[in-house]
Structure 1
């Protein structure tokens, strides 16, 4: 059997594309194959994003906040001003995906992809059990070793450990989140705490680094303990833990796209390199995929076109890779010298060139100029 669409891996990007394809009628009469070894029925991650008013994903939100603050020792700045910071737990998205696609001709093989290739106007996906043929392949399998061995494009890692805790007393304001709390000790890195209250006595505390290297799991947990102690929380229960590592790089993943194979999600460079935020980028890129599929002739080598934001992200990653201690200074300068709404608009890649310059002008200029010339000669 030759499938119309094969998805190697079922992450956020794959699910988002399939849902949008179904909503726009593209899947009618089509056969879809998903090659994914995991069941995807556990709550194994969370996605957060900011948005004005009601949105398409509100039906599966875990929580939303009307205020979200940037914090350091000197300031506390509300970043939203009319928008909402929204959170979706993966279990909600997995359930929504199954519900949306239950009437599709979707086949799921719980196998691990070994390799794939384009051959004779088809794509061939190989697993340990079988070979599968399709007309188009969407690949979301990410190989970090390829980035580790690449010297031209530096790799930062947004690495984090989170605790979902419950307190005996009502301690939190469920309308207010801490977007970034840079009051924690930096220790030569870019480190902050991320606090998302889910109710008056439940919250997620996530200790986060933007750094080239990872810490031991115990180090993250020790920092969370110290932070909870610092804010006066000593009696609590840990309900669940999560950990993750998001690559932050401007490596040109799109150059690996072929006529019939499109790399998506992290494997396609859809993660925002300068922030690690993924959900909003995936919404935008998955819609571009759907629009692309409506063309008469498909050639995914033409899908990606680098923009000015690719260049900005490249400079940011290079600066922090070469001096990881500068993160706090950069973010403090941005949030104290610029309109927070403009910063969020900039991170969503919706700003004009004039607005870009306002953000850029607020950053430490010397280090970015040095980065500009470093990137120019590579």
Structure 2
């Protein structure tokens, strides 16, 4: 692997070295089919900083355990009217830091002699009859196929058939002078805070009794001014957690699209969008890391068939469940917390995780739906059927 590209033509070009791009490159390097293939990985960043964290739940050991930074065996959920601590065995809630993931994958793919990593900002990716053209500010690259994780909200908001919400957040990594946090319990959602017309909650990931990532998160159509997130965090730490003294040692912020819109219309014969840009973020939750890990093997298998890249579909019945949920959330965002409160009060965490992992059978799906505010979902179903879905 090199940081400069002496070649201008490749078998495969991967645009973006985030979770999706690196998992795809890693999968290619591990597969003998791609042993003699040339691969170009492009990203504007060097991937040498800890710019994000990913969390996911998983049964038993998994492929990322060597770089898991922290695990939790209990999940806390708080609504407006009840609060509950859930043991989640056989699941474990896991955290992976961006820097650990980048270093781990970069070291592995460096062993592939045909892979070049080039730091540069991509201006355009064009699907052509006989391949793809990828242009940066200084260079043009040609490839047989390209996989792009470059996302912008206009990819989904140009249409009105499917609602487009955002999971947006600001997080503070805080250090306290008193042992306030439970290191074995992650607060998945705390809806006890003021909702202010939106679905709003706090998310807490303790790494010790004195340290935690505390995030103020919303599911809504529009972002807030940065000061609004920060004021909510200050209020929660002071009034809810009763902290008089704490230090903010780092921050993070982000926005993840929540939509059942079909990103497939952006694909081409030789161009495939991946990660968030490919609609890989779970529409109802925004979780993307494990969703991506599960989709990469299917994409690799499809590549090896030689079929056009736009012929691969991941759509299943869970897409429709997510669509109805987002319709409900979009229709009455101020009451979004009620959907989650009904669900977590009437189903176990294990049942919820299995459903969100898209591993439940239809009978279990009905149980989850029955545990939700039924009339609101029935009305969403009727509206969708009248619109032809």
Q: Which residue in the other structure is 2:357 paired with?
A: 348
- Find out whether 1:275 has 2:293 as its counterpart: no
- The one-character-per-residue Cα deviations of 1:229-288 (angstroms, maximum 9, x if unpaired) are 121112111110000000000110023222221110011000000001111100111111
Distance across 2 between alignment mates of 1:255 and 1:77: 42
The alpha-carbon deviation at position 80 of structure 1 amounts to: 1.5
- Find out whether 1:31 has 2:38 as its counterpart: yes
8 Å contact 2:220–2:333 — kept in the other structure?
yes
Q: Which residue in the other structure is 1:51 paired with?
A: 58
With structure 1 as the length reference, what TM-score do the two structures score? 0.96
With structure 2 as the length reference, what TM-score do the two structures score? 0.94
- The one-character-per-residue Cα deviations of 1:303-328 (angstroms, maximum 9, x if unpaired) are 11421011111111111111101211
The residue correspondences of 1:79-228 to structure 2 (distance < 5 A) are 80-104=88-112, 105-228=114-237
Distance across 1 between alignment mates of 2:32 and 2:73: 35
8 Å contact 2:76–2:83 — kept in the other structure?
no
| 3-state DSSP of counterpart to 1:311 | helix
Which range moved further: 119-128 or 151-160?
119-128
Which range moved further: 353-362 or 302-311?
302-311
- The one-character-per-residue Cα deviations of 1:65-96 (angstroms, maximum 9, x if unpaired) are 11112122412141623311000010111111
Distance across 1 between alignment mates of 2:352 and 2:195: 22
The alpha-carbon deviation at position 366 of structure 1 amounts to: 1.8
8 Å contact 2:73–2:87 — kept in the other structure?
no
Distance across 1 between alignment mates of 2:383 and 2:135: 40
Distance across 2 between alignment mates of 1:178 and 1:120: 50
8 Å contact 2:172–2:248 — kept in the other structure?
yes
- The one-character-per-residue Cα deviations of 1:182-240 (angstroms, maximum 9, x if unpaired) are 11111111111000100121100001001111111111111111111121112111110
Q: Structure 1 segments of 4 or more deviating over 6 A?
A: none
8 Å contact 2:198–2:218 — kept in the other structure?
yes
The alpha-carbon deviation at position 332 of structure 1 amounts to: 0.6
| 3-state DSSP of counterpart to 1:266 | helix
Flag structure 1 segments of 5+ consecutive residues without an equivalent.
none
Q: Which residue in the other structure is 2:4 paired with?
A: none
The alpha-carbon deviation at position 123 of structure 1 amounts to: 1.0
Flag structure 2 segments of 5+ consecutive residues without an equivalent.
1-7
Distance across 2 between alignment mates of 1:129 and 1:108: 15
Q: Which residue in the other structure is 2:72 paired with?
A: 65
8 Å contact 1:140–1:265 — kept in the other structure?
yes
Backbone CA RMSD of aligned residues: 1.4
